[in-house]
Structure 1
Amino acid sequence: MFIFNTLLIGLREIFSHWFRSFLTIVGVVLGIMSLVTMSAIVQGMENAMKEQMATFGGADKINVDEEEPPSYQDHKRDYSPGITVKDAYAFREGSTLLKCISPEMTISRARATYQKKRAYISDFSGVWPDIMEMNSYEIETGRFFTSYEDYAAKNVCVIGSDVSTSLFGEDLDTGEPISAIGKTININYVPFSVIGVYKKIETEAEKKKRESELKRSLNQSGPKRTSSFKTRRGGRYQHRNNTIHIPLNTMWMKFKMSSSSSSSRSFQSRFSKASTEPEVFVPDPTLSDLDVKVTD
């Protein structure tokens, strides 16, 4: 009986001061909603950060940067050419804690053309095959170039998905990109054979938007064309999707060496007796970037 009377008194107080009770309920509801919303936002930001870090190589990736010598070593500045490919070989042969090493030579201004079409290139670099593991790249079609193709400085390239779409287009009936494998494109007027296309990297929101646009275009009435050439430049991973990679020695011999005044004396050979690999040519000019990934 006591409990019943207590509940009855409480209900009378609530209904006698209904507006104050309403504001109290609203405050509690808004407080819970704000906590749930903030928790969801923080969790989403954390997941997005982890996804982006994994896409660009993960937390175990280390970038080796060159540093200007201190003032008291200015007299040695001419003897410090910066980070070279020989440094990458020194890392590979001398370190036991590195999983992979990825040197890069980059050209800032590059233009890719196919027939009368052009592609926007955000990253045109000469690399080692290790970059696949270093930056978590995946091949959609074709393959990556081999160590021998790098050694022989072959004119082969692996292109990003947006570069492929810009140069070769898509089939409007299926929405699938037209195959670029085996086709020859010109990069700064040098012909290269496309041997691989990277898998498109996009967020879930971008993927859903692209799929909805594809469904809408397929449902439109009217005559259908077999292909379409268009450029897609948006998105968080625009830089990754507009990439072209060629072998490191190809970049050196076809682009860098031709513009180097010291090319005749800066191209040396290196052979490791403990290795069964063929003799490797080691270019001496500075690298644009050198990344290493440590073991777990």
Structure 2
Amino acid sequence: MNFYTEVKEGLFIAWDAIRANKLRSILTTLGIVIGVVTVTLMGTAIDGLNRAFLRSISMLGADVLYVSRTSWFIDSYEEWLKVRDRHDITLAQVRELEKQMTLARAIAPFVDSRRPVKYKNRNSSSVTVIGTTEQFQFTSGSAVAQGRFLTAEEADGGRPVCVIGFDVATNLFQLGPALGNKIKVGQQDFEVVGVLEKQGNFLGHFNLDNQVIIPVKQFLSGIWHDPDFEIQVKVADLKSLEDAKEELRGVMRKIRHVPPGKEDDFAINQQENFISTFNRVAGTIATAGLFITGLSLFVGGIGIMNIMF
């Protein structure tokens, strides 16, 4: 009975305090609501960001290593000054790597540029044109929906053929057949031999369906004569990824004539680089969200104390 009376009196006191301090009560409630909503929204946002990121990052392939002149992520101006004068990676170096690597399943040169693409009176502006070889199908995981991919003979001989992305095929040919037709890439004509399956965007930015893949020899002769290549290396066995990475590093140092004791003049990037960078960014976002949430709840708590006392 005493407990019931105390609860009843406590509720009356609380109600009287709320009625006597209407504005303060509203502001306090608002602070608490903002805090709770912020916690919920922050958790939902980070969870959605994680899922979207993991979907995109899976396109890189856990078993693929990417050799480039510089790292994907340069953290400081001093680091950029250190790497800016490195020599480009050349196609000859790619060919030499293909001969010497033993733990790789596929090795593909990669270079790209933006060019307009045209078929009759239909145009696609700013399409990503990729110069590579038949090995790119394995390193990139690209799947062909119609036709076929480049052959080794086409990649080596430079026959003007191409494989186009889903959006390029849709924009240029709409519902008509794409295979066997010739499209103009920049100022060159290329016969369409394949159409890729729809892939979507990478990290919401790079449209993987807005691309045209051509033989690397054709790229060098008509698009860009002296580019800086990236090399994509798909390892033979994911379990031997670290061994393959060490072999790759040693072979690249030999090919690029890096003296013993000197730093590498190239970078080996992989899926893990993106994951570690994303985790740092997501951690910063979560910390900021927790601070805002804590501040809202703290303000709400002070308001409650002012009302009650």
With the length of structure 1 as denominator, give the TM-score of the two structures: 0.60
Aligned twin of 2:110: 104
**Residue 260 of structure 2 corresponds to which residue in structure 1?**
none
Letter in 2 for 1:118: N
Q: Is 1:190 aligned to 2:203, yes or no? A: no
2:99 is the alignment partner of 1:158: no
Report the equivalent of 1:17.
17
Instruction: Name the structure where helix makes up a greater proportion of residues.
Output: 2
C-alpha contact 2:129 2:212 (8 A) present in aligned 1: yes
Q: How big is the shift at 1:6? A: 2.7
Give 1:64's aligned residue: 68
Q: Secondary structure at the match of 2:57?
A: helix
TM-score (norm 2): 0.58
3-state SS, counterpart of residue 176 of structure 2:
coil
Q: 1:181 aligns with which of 179, 182, 190?
A: 179
Tell me, yes or no, if the aligned pair for 2:117 and 2:127 is still in contact at 8 Å.
no
SS where residue 108 of structure 2 aligns?
A: strand
Aligned length: 218
Match of 2:229 in 1: 288
Displacement of 1:24 in angstroms is: 4.7
How far off its partner does 1:128 sit? 1.7
Q: Return 5+ residue gaps in structure 2 as ranges.
A: 72-84, 239-309
Change (3 A) 1:28 1:139: same
Matched residue, 1:245: 213
Cα distance in 2 for partners of 1:7, 1:60 equals 66
Alignment-derived partner of residue 284 in structure 2? none
Q: In structure 2, give the amino acid aligned to 1:32.
A: V
Distance in 2 of aligned mates of 1:28 and 1:84 = 60
Alignment of 1:61-100 (within 5 A): 61-65=65-69, 82-100=88-106
For 1:118, the equivalent position in structure 2 comes to 123
Q: Which runs of 5+ in 1 are unaligned?
A: 68-76, 170-176, 204-234, 261-284
Amino acid at match of 2:8: L
Q: Superposition pairs for residues 221-260 of structure 1, below 5 Å? A: 236-238=205-207, 240-252=208-220, 255=222
Between 19-28 and 181-190, report the one with greater CA deviation. Answer: 19-28
C-alpha displacement of 1:84: 2.4
Q: Is the 8 A contact 1:201 1:237 kept in 2?
A: no
**SS of equivalent residue, structure 2 residue 9:** helix
Distance 1:255 1:145 in 2: 18
State the Cα RMSD in Å.
Answer: 3.5
Residue 8 of structure 1 corresponds to 8
Report the AA paired with residue 7 of structure 2: L
Q: Is the 8 A contact 1:121 1:244 kept in 2?
A: no
Deviations 1:155-198 (A, max 9, x none): 221112232233222xxxxxxx4331221223344332212122
**Cα deviation code 1:138-168 (max 9, x no counterpart):** 3333321222332343322111223223322
Which of 193, 197, 200 pairs up with 2:198? Answer: 200
Cα gap change, 1:6/1:45 in structure 2, threshold over 3 Å: closer, same or farther? same
